[in-house]
Amino acid sequence: MGSRGDASDTLGTCPVCGRSLPAHARLVTYHGDGWPTLFAECADCDEIVHPR
């Protein structure tokens, strides 16, 4: 819980519009096959996206 491995305030970028997604946009994180899958809400798209 609360791992801060990457010293970054962003989750990644929106795959739709390319906007940088801030850490507070994070909705949920699933732990699948060995790596976390993260979903966030993009303020620009107003949709749930998968940051990359």
Which residues sit at the interface with Zn ion, rule CB under 5 A?
Answer: 14, 16-17, 19, 42, 44-45
- Nearer Cβ to Zn ion, position 19 or 26? 19
Shortest distance (Å) from residue 32 CB to Zn ion:
23
Beta strands in 1-52 (DSSP E): 10-13, 20-22, 26-31, 36-42, 47-49
- Nearer Cβ to Zn ion, position 33 or 46? 46
**Cα distance between residue 24 and residue 10, in whole Å:** 8
- Nearer Cβ to Zn ion, position 1 or 11? 11
